[in-house]
Amino acid sequence: MNKSIKTGILFLLLLHTSYVSPIIAQDNYQLRKLKFTGNESFSSGTLLDQVSLYGTSKFSKLILRRKPFLYSRDILESDLKNLKRFYQREGFLNAKVTIGAVEVNDEKEMVSLIIDISEGKPILVSAVDYSLSMFSESVYDELAAFIDRVLESLNLERGVRFSDKAVSLDQEILTDLLMNSGYPYARVNPLLEVDTIANQVSLNWSIESGPRCIFGGATITGSGYVSSSLVSRQLAFREGEVYDQRLLNKSQEQVYGLGVFQIVTVKSQLSKDEEESVPVIIQLKEAPRFGTRFGIGYGREDKFRVFSEFRYFDFLGGARRLNLFLKHSGLEPYNIDLKLTQPALITPRTTLVANPYILRQEEPGYTVNRVGGSSTIMHQIIRNLSVSATYSFEQTRLDTNSIATDEGFGILIPEVYKKSSIILGSSWDNSNPMFSPTKGMFSTLVFKLSGLGFSSDYHYSKLLFEGRKYLSLWRTVLALKGKVGGIGSRDEHGIIPVEDRLYSGGSNSVRGWLRSMLGPLDEDNVPRGGNSLFEGSLELRYPIIGLLSGVAFMDFGNVWLDSYTYKIEDLHYSAGLGLRFNTPIGPIRFDTASPVWDKEKRVQFHISVGQAF
């Protein structure tokens, strides 16, 4: 925070103080309830974030395993002062924070508190202006007109409530806009004039532009097996272009997107003399050219599993990546997957992937052997949005004894068939952190069209959408998921390959049912799959102690035989509880769930790695 902001804030804080009376209650009593009154401008949740005190309900102690807060007069006095400072920072100069009521239960050694807030009138912004000092007066009018437009979109404008946070945000916005417009040496400082009688403050932005700059030469360090020329092509700026801070960030993303670097740093070299040509240095740390990865584990659905992966970076040059993945599990007795990835194809954000594979699947509803390959072009439109187009061809051998007895309704199902398909997809992902998101959103939309030449035996289309949302609620995370899909056949008999049908139930689906067991079944309880799916989940994730956390969840869903047919009255529901033990590779998960409002009452247990979604 710069000196002028600190001076303005300190002036506001020193203008008014209030007397805080400590309450008389026994230290180390449990704080049963903490309530706020008079807080019209801020929620109780916002105020709780400013204090150390918190109440502990029976639900918090029994379900969330939260330790009760032990009352302390010293902590209370400190929190009351913190609340007052918070209000003053938010523009309520005359706010008063006092104890409203106290209830003490000596028998149970508990205390309940009410904190009374008298907000008073807030400080309002009476005027916003700026003074501009230019390195070169020839572009004064152009830059002044730009700043005039920017001021209209800032947080602080005439008539709004003043706050320290808004000043800092607006200072950052103004500085970034100037740096993104060729002025990397720009300095922006707020000057405040406070009228305590009228409860107003006028704000003047003191702006020193510095020289208008261009990009100088780029120096690349740390490249070994990856050529410097390839790194240069990933840069979003060129020497001689007008300086723009955003292009440095974009360059860092694009160089890192080659997939062969552990660390990428792109920094401008600003000089004390404020020279107009700004050189850039790119510092790299390459990942090891050869590497292996090995894993072993157990899950309720895939039983014992083991996998290994071998990688070769810069295969035949051009930052190409060659990955060989081998896996064995109960669901996939063998999976041999080879990927050749070519980054920076045509554009820095376009990637080509060639992927031959051999795979055997033993699912509850079918057993198949698949041999094929695919070619995918992926393009990152913006940081969180990507699109892809894939051509896939495979030959499948079906074990007809593994499918439902009424399969095909008397129509002969071939044991060997071919599929030629185009798959279009898009995904949005700003959720984070990676393994256990606490905020953000993920969504994916996939459209598959099968039966395009090469003697393809089945002709159908498949559309699948999934969306997830993560919300942080105090110390808990609310996670939501929705999934809907449909398949339409273009063949006379309407048969869809069993491995491409829609299934529901399992550890990542509706957890009150075993894998694929929710939906149409034959008389031997073999899943038939279907052509329409609708699922949803709600999870409340909460910490317990250390690396251990808990989950309460409800899932719902179903699968229908008819294409694009969804009947809400046919939905099935399940609820349950789970435990998560956090590890560097994601949480180890244990869930127990049971159907609700359903004839089926059997409890299901699921063990796996990673969140359910």
- Mean pLDDT across the chain: 90
Task: Give which of 34, 76, 35, 33 is closest to 58, Cα–Cα.
Answer: 33
User: Given pLDDT bands bounded at 50, 70 and 90, which one contains residue 8?
Assistant: very low
- pLDDT tens-digit readout, 304-360: 999 999 999 999 999 999 999 999 999 999 999 999 999 999 999 999 999 999 999
User: Given pLDDT bands bounded at 50, 70 and 90, which one contains residue 546?
Assistant: confident
Q: Is the pLDDT of residue 245 over 70?
A: yes
- pLDDT tens-digit readout, 399-429: 988 888 767 545 667 899 999 999 999 999 9
pLDDT of the residue at 7: 42
Domains of the chain: 3-118 (3.10.20.310), 124-208 (3.10.20.310), 214-286 (3.10.20.310), 344-609 (2.40.160.50)
CB 564 within 8 A of CB 592: no
Query: In the numeric block, which tokens belong to residue 19?
Result: 């007397």
Alpha carbons 50 and 79: distance in angstroms, whole number: 8
Which of 29-38, 166-175, 199-208 is predicted with the least confidence, judged by mean pLDDT? 29-38
- pLDDT tens-digit readout, 566-580: 999 999 999 999 999
- pLDDT tens-digit readout, 218-242: 999 998 999 999 999 999 999 999 9
pTM of the predicted structure, to 2 decimals: 0.79
Alpha carbons 574 and 385: distance in angstroms, whole number: 33
pLDDT of the residue at 337: 98
pLDDT of the residue at 36: 93
Query: In the numeric block, which tokens belong to residue 580?
Result: 């998560």
pLDDT over 90 for what percent of the chain? Answer: 71
- By CB atoms closer than 10 A (0-12, 13-18, 19+), residue 525 is exposed
Q: Is the pLDDT of residue 32 over 50?
A: yes
Task: Give which of 91, 22, 26, 80 is closest to 51, Cα–Cα.
Answer: 80
What letter represents residue 205's amino acid? W
Task: Report residue 402 CA to chain centroid gap.
Answer: 39
Residues 139-162 have a mean pLDDT of 89
pLDDT of the residue at 14: 42
User: Given pLDDT bands bounded at 50, 70 and 90, which one contains residue 22?
Assistant: very low
pLDDT of the residue at 9: 43
Residues 13-37 have a mean pLDDT of 63
pLDDT of the residue at 1: 46
Q: Is the pLDDT of residue 434 over 60?
A: yes
pLDDT of the residue at 574: 96
CB 219 within 8 A of CB 202: no
CB 502 within 8 A of CB 510: no
pLDDT of the residue at 6: 43
